[in-house]
Amino acid sequence: MPERAPITDHATAAAPAVCPFCSLLCDDLVLAPNPDGSFAVPRNGCRRARADYARAPLAAQAEVAGRPVSLARAVARAAQLLKRAQHPLFAGLATDVDGMRAAVTLAERCGATLDHLHGDTMSALVRLLQTRGGYTTTLSEVRNRAECVLMVGLDLDTRYENFVRRCLCPAEALLPERLAQRRLIYLGATPPRVLADAALEVLRCRADRTAAALGALLALLRGATLNARSAGGVPRAALSRLAGSLRASAYTVIACAPGALGPRAEPALACAFELVEELNRTTRAALIALGGDDGGQSAQATCAWLTGYPLRIRCGDTVTYDPLTHTTAALLASGATDASVWIDAYGRHPNPPPTCAPATSVVLGATRPARTPEVFIAVGTPGLDHAARLVRTDAVVSLHLAAQRTTALPAVAEVLAAMAARLA
């Protein structure tokens, strides 16, 4: 595979960019290059974007057992590990659409299992859609048409901060009257500070009691009477008022981040789906689940396009889908996998699970892992070191991200394609 040129230039000052560091894919960031290849974000950035853009790129490097080697030699060693393996695992999968395409192709050649680092959360949402269906909406619908937004446990101070600027409290919307009268209601433990200046109605509830509060709210909407004084820590009177507000709203959106709902995320999500279904009997309502960071939404969508199944599949003579056993944790705990490829092109999760055996592990990362794997290859970040395509959190828009700097770092897709060629 061809080597890339070293860093020679950077994006022009104040160039607009699509941010790859969370699944909102905000497309109006303004970047200012620094001499070390990092960027400042003078406008429209959030805390996460500013922190991730401030990271300078790794030098192009490839290692086998901690020793520097050529990229071709590292690829050959990685392919050798996969060829010998009976059940390889491709995990992490923090890459872009092209990287995920290459991962599926390589998995088909070596019989690997595919699981994303956010697989538990994404699988919980998929199971609900598979078993009961649901009404979902888009970021644009939230921005332009929602009259009432019920936020369930959203931590907008550390994740999805720009959801406020772009969707909840935008400067303008297609239906200005809806925006003017929009009600923002928060159900959760800690109201977001970023909404301190908004007219926010707050119902305090611990994350582990969210399902109880939503279940009581659902009962009220169905005409039941609550005998208890509170449910999930929320007073009965407050839940009754909330039920009335949702009934009166022309368009309600329930917004949540499944990854922030804790170990009881699935029951809480199930209640949210049923709330939306109940409201749609007399008015209009929909759910938006914010998630799929680190390329998760792109990995899920690409896997479905190519195989007909969501993630947590094993490739072979046929593709098998099992969201309970084809998981990173289960395969490593059982010792069923004998080689692993960990992919983290965004630099936020550089370390494979500690149970990954270093002697049979391959890491493709934008930052160095703490433990030395058998093969390490530094890769570029999508939308930063190379052009990329990513799928937004609402799964209806695929965005093109231009490269913002020129580095010698290969894309994940290039490295995996080279490994597949070796296997062939």
Better-predicted residue by pLDDT, 233 or 12: 233
CATH architecture assigned to 123-289: 3-Layer(aba) Sandwich (3.40)
pLDDT digits over 388-401, tens only?
999 999 999 999 99
Q: What is the mean pLDDT of the chain?
A: 94
Per CATH, domain 59-118+294-423 is 3.40.50.150: no
Residue 12's pLDDT is: 43
305 φ/ψ angles, rounded to the nearest 5 degrees = -60, -45
Distance of alpha carbon 311 from alpha carbon 300, whole angstroms: 6
pTM: 0.93
Same topology, domains 59-118+294-423 and 123-289? Answer is no
Mean pLDDT calculated for residue range 209-217:
96
Compute CA distances 76 → 339, 378, 392, 424, whole Å. 15, 15, 34, 12
Residue 265's pLDDT is: 87
Residue 1's pLDDT is: 52
- Does the pLDDT at position 352 exceed 90? yes
- Does the pLDDT at position 27 exceed 50? yes
- Does the pLDDT at position 2 exceed 90? no
Domain range list for the chain:
59-118+294-423, 123-289
pLDDT digits over 114-154, tens only?
999 999 999 999 999 999 999 999 999 999 999 999 999 99
Contacts of 35 (CB under 8 A, 6+ apart): none
pLDDT digits over 250-309, tens only?
999 999 999 888 877 899 999 999 999 999 999 999 999 999 999 999 999 999 999 999
pLDDT digits over 172-195, tens only?
999 999 999 999 999 999 999 999
